[in-house]
Amino acid sequence: MKGAFASVRLLDAPLSADRAYTYAVPPHLLGVVCRGLPVRVPFGRGSRVAAGVVTGLSDTCERENLKSVLSAFDPVFCLSEEMLAMADFLCEHTLCTMGDAVRAILPPGAVDSRASVRCERTVYPLLSRDELRGICDGVVRLRSAAHRAVLLYFCDDPTPVSQRALCDALSVTPAQIRALVDRGWLAYGSEEVVRNPYAALGRERDTSPICLSRAQTEAYETLQKLQKDQKPHAALLFGVTGSGKTKVFMRVMDDVIREGKQVILMVPEIALTPQTVSIFCRRYGTRVAVIHSALSFGERLDAWRRIRAGEVDLVIGTRSAVFAPLDRLGLIVVDEEHEHTYKSESAPKYHARDVAAFRCGASGALLILSSATPSFESFYKAREGRYTLVPLRERYGGATLPEVQIVDMRTELRAGRVSPVSLPLFERLAGVKERGEQAILFLNRRGYHTALQCMECGEPVVCPHCSLALTYHAAGAVGMRCHCCGYRAPVPRACPSCGSPHLSFSGYGTQKAETRVQSDLPGLRVMRMDADTTSGKQSYDRLIESFRRGDADVLLGTQMVTKGHEFPRVTLVGVLLADRSLYVNDFRAAERTFSLLTQVIGRAGRSSDPGVALIQTFAPHNEVIRCACTQDYERFFDSEIELRRETMFPPFCDLARLTLTAGDEPSLFAAASALSDAIRAAGQGAYADVPMTVFGPFEAGVYKAAEKYRMQMIVKCRLGRRARALFRELLVAPPTSAGVTLGVDFNPLTFS
């Protein structure tokens, strides 16, 4: 019988059991079960119900007494051939299970009971537009302006709308709507409602031509030529901050969408989506979908359904948007491609840039990587000719790069000033409000004080569950807080280590900086933007829009204030501790510091008003800081790449980080020793053909996290088929005891 047997990969199987299992297809599911369809099957001795995905069908099977497929999930979640290919790619390149891959590709909850549509009570008109307009013009006396506003709404758009959306849009009450229903002018209905918090942004359209400068036109023409080729290409759009890279790839998007193809635009952080979504919704209307983790489950599900139904031309989102189910893909743009947030820290541990390259290769699409400070891996490929390098070396519209001043904080200390804000920066801030301008202050540390230390024994107060010092927070839930596991506690009266009452706070974070600026300049309105102030839904959106409206004079925050924002009135940028990220145990420390400083400096002077950036540092002569101040990426790259070449770090090799985690230290030490022996034995035996250099085992950057101890090993190698086979073998049969887990991450971007 055709399709009577199905090969099914379970979605909750461990790597050691991650393979295809054969099931019989019952008569009522013949013709329904197909390749890519998520199904429910019995598994194991107890025949527990498990979710799986069908990876193949067969007409015959030599085995007897097979268990049968129980039921199928909603066919809208059936994986296309491209989705299945993506799943295989993730399994092969990250060593994840098929379940991890499928759950990354499908929307959250797609293969459990939560994947449902939402129905509401909707409102729609019973009268024609002319009749409604006549009532509004005075044919019938209306009781209130609210009634007239509702009727005018339906004069413009007579389609059904949810009552909740209508109340929010017009600031009316359900009772006022019911009064119009009672008069027979409107009616209630019930239908599926698409949950889309960005729907209103597409009502005001902006389809005006995109005007490009000479340099932008040259960049666009290069990209257009690649796009018209109908073959897969990758290009690096490399331009200084404020050079108008967005306008260039928007022109390419116009071409792609005009041809009937679809586009994915990826941004690194949720904080960038409000501004980005607003721009693109005005241009492309309702055929835009947004995907990011701050949306509710239902909002993400409905966005995915719209995309799958072919109702979307442009998908905007963070890392997970790379899996958007587009079947006419023509272009993927990875904006700010250097950002570490494109790398997943949980299984599957993919880099969105790699998945984007795979999809473009399979679809014959164009991949545009855009950045003022490209990752070394991307810029090296562009230099080598594997990517097309598309430079933009001047700011758009005649704007100039900001004047940059380095402030030597050693001088401040010698003068007895211990404020987070130096005297030169203080003087600049004092005039911001008077001039009707705005400023951004960047400090990559949240909280009030960064540590509480004993003056007797010298020990900091650390989290009881982690090996990290607790941070003092003065706002919200006042007290000590762990930024790793979330542990909270009141400020201790005595040292937990020696009992001494002599405790002293040290360091400062965004809360203390905010307090100091407000106390020194009381007329200045300061808005703080960090993980503590943006935890609520759409709080990023509200803060950014509030600052753009001019509700604050200063935006002070962590990394989220440095990226991609367009604030025309910002003329001053201050970096409070520029060298903080330089001295960490990470070979990418210089690259990350250069990028952060370049990006935040670039927030100033993006309109006709000139900008100024003040960089506070205890290392004023550091070459990384000086290159960032001059926005000279290529000079910095040429210097740093030689160091990478000599020490054999990426892009000249790949890195595999192996992490062992255990609840007790003796088990961890034994497992680390066994793992070290196993890797070195494999390198001298079955995998002697895989050149590699092994480091460790050693304690992880955060040795203890949430009551778990961690040790790591780093392996330098080339990640070919054989190297991956070695690491898969270690994961399938790890040389560890019960209670110890092993994880592998290829080319990690952080080493904590």
Token output for 636: 């910095």
DSSP string, 106-175: SPTTTTSTT----EEEEEEESS-HHHHHHIIIIIS--S-HHHHHHHHHHHH--S-EEHHHHHHHHT--HH
Mean pLDDT score of the chain, rounded to an integer? 90
SS3 content of the chain, % helix, strand, coil (to 5): 35, 25, 40
| Pair 319, 438 in one domain | no
* Range of lowest pLDDT (177-181, 297-301, 384-388): 297-301
List, as own/partner pairs, every contact residues 689-692 make where C-beta atoms lie below 8 angstroms and the sequence separation is at least 24, other chains included.
Answer: 689/722, 690/717, 690/720, 690/722, 690/723, 690/726, 691/717, 691/718, 692/716, 692/717, 692/723
* DSSP-assigned states of every residue in 509-541: -HHHHHHHHHHHSTT--EEEESTTTS-STTHHH
The token pair at 61 is 């099977």
403-408/693-705 β-pairing: unpaired
Q: Between residues 603 and 228, which one has the greater pLDDT?
A: 228
Q: Do 169 and 245 lie in a common domain?
A: no
- Domain edge (last residue) among 131, 164, 192: 192
Q: Specify whether the CB–CB gap between 99 and 11 falls below 8 A.
A: yes
Residue in 299, 289, 283 with CA at minimum distance from that of residue 250 = 283
| H or E element, residue 579 | none
Question: Domain span at residue 416?
Answer: 400-448+508-644
Residues 367 and 338 in one domain: yes
- Cα separation, 526 vs 723, whole angstroms: 52
Residue 691 sits in a domain of what CATH number?
Answer: 3.30.70.600
Residue 679 lies in a domain: yes
Same domain, 269 and 318: yes
Measured CA to CA, the distance from residue 254 to residue 246 in angstroms comes to 12
Q: Which residue type occupies 272?
A: L
Strand partners, 716: 655, 693
Q: Do 175 and 207 belong to one domain?
A: no
Give buried/exposed letters for 411-434 (b at 16+ CB in 10 A, else e).
ebeeeeeebbbbebbbebbeebbe
Under 8 Å between Cβ of 503 and 517 = no
Number of domains in the chain: 5
Give the phi and the psi of residue 265 in degrees, each rounded to 5. Answer: -115, 120
The reply to whether 165 and 217 lie within a common domain is: no
Q: What is the pLDDT of residue 346?
A: 93
Distance, in Å, from the CA atom of 223 to the CA atom of 335, rounded to the nearest integer, reads: 15
Chosen domain end from 83, 105, 127: 105
Same domain membership, residue 254 and residue 162: no
Instruction: For residue 130, list its beta bridge partners.
Output: none
For range 224-231, the mean pLDDT: 94
Per-residue confidence (pLDDT) for residue 39, from 0 to 100: 96
| Torsion 489-493-495-499 (CA) sign | negative
Question: Cα 369 to chain center, whole Å?
Answer: 15
Report whether 561 contacts 442 (CB < 8 A). yes
Same domain, yes or no, for 11 and 156?
Answer: no
With a cut of 90, say whether residue 106 has pLDDT above it: yes
Q: What's the number of CA atoms in the CB half-sphere (13 Å) around residue 360?
A: 27
- Which pLDDT belongs to residue 572? 94
So what's the pLDDT on residue 202? 65
Calpha distance 266→277 (Å, rounded): 11
Pairwise CA distance, residues 722 & 271, whole Å: 40
79: region left, alpha or beta (phi > 0 left; psi from -120 to 50 alpha): beta
Domain match, 420 and 382 both: no
Q: Is residue 488 part of a domain?
A: no
Which pLDDT tens digit goes with each residue over 612-650? 999 999 999 999 999 999 999 999 999 999 999 999 999
CATH classification of the domain holding 12? 3.40.1440.60
Mean pLDDT of 591-609: 86
- Cβ neighbour number for residue 498 with a 10 Å cutoff: 12
**Got the DSSP string for 540-565?**
HHHHHHHHHHTS-SEEEESGGGSSS-
pLDDT given for residue 536 in this prediction: 66
Residues 6 or more apart whose Cβ sits within 8 Å of residue 64 = none
Q: Which of 463-477, 491-505, 651-665 has the highest mean pLDDT?
A: 651-665
Is residue 703 domain-resident? yes
Does residue 117 have a pLDDT over 70? Answer: no
Cα distances (Å, whole numbers) of residue 663 to 75, 104, 466, 734: 42, 28, 12, 17
> Taking 60 as the threshold, does the pLDDT of residue 413 lie above it?
yes
- Report if residue 30 sits inside a domain: yes
pLDDT at 271: 59
CA triplet 343, 649, 736: central angle to 5 degrees?
A: 65
H-only helix segments in 560-607: 589-601
pLDDT digits (tens, 9 = 90+) for 428-462: 999 888 888 999 999 988 777 778 889 998 888 99
- pLDDT > 70: percent of the chain: 96
Spatial distance between the Cα atoms of 321 and 340, rounded to a whole number of angstroms: 16
- The answer to whether residue 219 is domain-embedded is yes
Confidence of residue 718 (pLDDT cuts 50, 70, 90): very high
Instruction: Find out whether the peptide bond into 651 is cis, omega within 30 degrees of 0.
Output: yes
pLDDT at residue 695, as a whole number: 95
Q: What Å distances lie between residue 515 and 416, 452, 548, CA to CA?
A: 19, 19, 22
CATH number at residue 583: 3.40.50.300
Q: Quick check: is 587 in a domain?
A: yes
- Transcribe 322-355 into DSSP letters: GG---SSEEEEEEETTT-GGGB-SSSS--BHHHH
Q: How confident is the model at residue 372 (pLDDT cuts 50, 70, 90)?
A: very high
Confidence class for position 545, pLDDT limits 50, 70, 90:
confident
Q: Is the peptide bond before 697 cis (omega within 30 degrees of 0)?
A: yes
Give the model's confidence band at 118: pLDDT under 50 very low, under 70 low, under 90 confident, else very high.
low
Q: Are residues 527 and 392 in the same domain?
A: no
Query: Of 105-109, 246-250, 472-476, 591-595, which range is least confident?
Result: 472-476
Residue 480 belongs to a domain: no
Query: 71, 105, 139 — which closes off a domain?
Result: 105
DSSP, collapsed to helix, strand or coil, labels residue 687 as coil
* For range 390-411, the mean pLDDT: 88
| Omega prior to 108 cis, within 30 of 0 | no
Q: Is the pLDDT of residue 114 over 50?
A: no
Whether 649 is in a domain gets the answer no
Enumerate the β-bridge partners of residue 615: 406, 575
The identity of residue 319, as a single letter, is R
324 and 390 belong to one structural domain:
yes
Bridge partners (DSSP) listed for residue 408:
617
pLDDT given for residue 458 in this prediction: 87
Question: The tokens of 113 are what?
Answer: 């009971």
Gap between the Cα atoms of 163 and 648, Å rounded: 62
- Can you give the pLDDT at residue 500? 93
The helix or strand, by DSSP H or E, that contains position 724, with its residue range, turns out to be helix 721-732
pLDDT above 90 (res 195): no
Mean pLDDT of 108-112: 82
- List the beta bridge partners of residue 23: 6
Alpha carbons 118 and 649: distance in angstroms, whole number: 50
Would you say residue 555 has pLDDT above 90?
yes
Same domain for 428 and 409?
Answer: yes
Q: Which residue has the higher pLDDT, 192 or 422?
A: 422
pLDDT of residue 580: 81
